[in-house]
Structure 1
Amino acid sequence: MEYNNTLNRNLAKVQKMPAFLQNWLRDYSIGKFVKFVGTAGIHFEKMTCHEVVITLPNKTKVQNHIGQIHAAATTLLAETATGMVVGMNIPDNKLPLMKNLSVKFIKRSQGQQKAVATLTEQQISQIRETDKGDVSVAVKITDETEEEVIVAEMNWAWVLKK
């Protein structure tokens, strides 16, 4: 059974909609809440408490001067995937915050990019059970050739809401 917080409850509502609407509705509602994600056109393929998989098509609005996905858009993809997997686990009385990010570009990307962010059972317990803390969230960013294009370290913190 998945952890129950606002994000999970909203995603459960989407799952009750007709199948042909679910992907669009999930992308639209998250993009409406996190506007930059919506502007970039990130697609949410899988969202669970253990793993989030998202993609970013290589469209003009996110391209750099050589027609590839811009470095800032690639970084957004990594930040969004890791933030969402934390968001799938964080209780409603806590606020997630990006604490630190590090991105090293290792290969020129080709076409669409994909991010896969994961949490361990231990990290999930830590997020759910401690009032304040931080975790380094694993994320892998690949392109259409399925090769990794960046090495990223995303460190997310959380605090109790005031």
Structure 2
Amino acid sequence: MVPFARTLGITWDSVGEGRAICRLPDREELHNHVGGPHAGVLFTLAESASGAAMLSVFGDQLERAVPLATSARVEYRKVAKGEVWAEARVLGTREEVVGTLDAGERPVFEVGVDVRNGDGEVVCVVNVTWTLRPHRR
């Protein structure tokens, strides 16, 4: 786990087959001025879930490439209250991404994430763009 995610207290429910679910308990020290988790906390939860989903598909490629998040699009829909959880899913196919890497190019792919409150309402939607940068020889 990335140290910052551990600092926030993110826990994992499941990771595998291009999906990941993680959650964050409600803690006052993570709140913003309107009483919900700070936007940065929600983003970190979503980005962490996206990384886990990505690694569940492409973790076997770490010997030849380093995964890097290159950009993210965030839509905050409503104030989150209580515990929040994120569900991420890899939107590209393994065949396309690994095929691009095999061709000596840098693949780019998306991971979509829905962040929900305890009632299951979507409070934030994040799309993270990832690449696998081949190791320099």
State the TM-score, normalized to the length of structure 1: 0.73
Structure with bigger strand share is 2
Please name the residue that 1:58 is paired with.
26
Q: Which has the higher contact order (CA 8 A, sep 6+)?
A: 2
* Residue type at the aligned position of 1:136: E
Please name the residue that 1:123 is paired with.
93
Please name the residue that 1:133 is paired with.
107
**Aligned ranges 1:91-106 → 2 under 5 Å:** 91-92=61-62, 93-106=64-77
Please name the residue that 1:87 is paired with.
55
Per the TM alignment, residue 117 of structure 1 is displaced from its structure 2 partner at its CA by 0.7
* Residue type at the aligned position of 2:5: V
Query: How big is the alpha-carbon RMSD for the aligned residues of Structure 1 and Structure 2?
Result: 1.5
Structure with bigger helix share is 1
**Aligned ranges 1:3-152 → 2 under 5 Å:** 30=1, 34-90=2-58, 91-92=61-62, 93-120=64-91, 123-131=93-101, 132-152=106-126
Per the TM alignment, residue 118 of structure 1 is displaced from its structure 2 partner at its CA by 1.1
Q: Secondary structure at the match of 2:132?
A: strand
Contact 2:19-2:56 within 8 A present in 1 as well: no
Displaced runs of 4 or more, over 3 A: none
State the TM-score, normalized to the length of structure 2: 0.86
> Using a 3 Å threshold, how does the CA distance of structure 1 residues 112 and 77 change in structure 2: closer, same or farther?
same
Question: Equivalents in 1 of 2:79, 2:15: separation in Å?
Answer: 27
Contact 2:18-2:54 within 8 A present in 1 as well: no
Deviations 1:38-89 (A, max 9, x none): 1011001101032100001111332223331111000011111111111122
Give me the identity figure in percent.
24
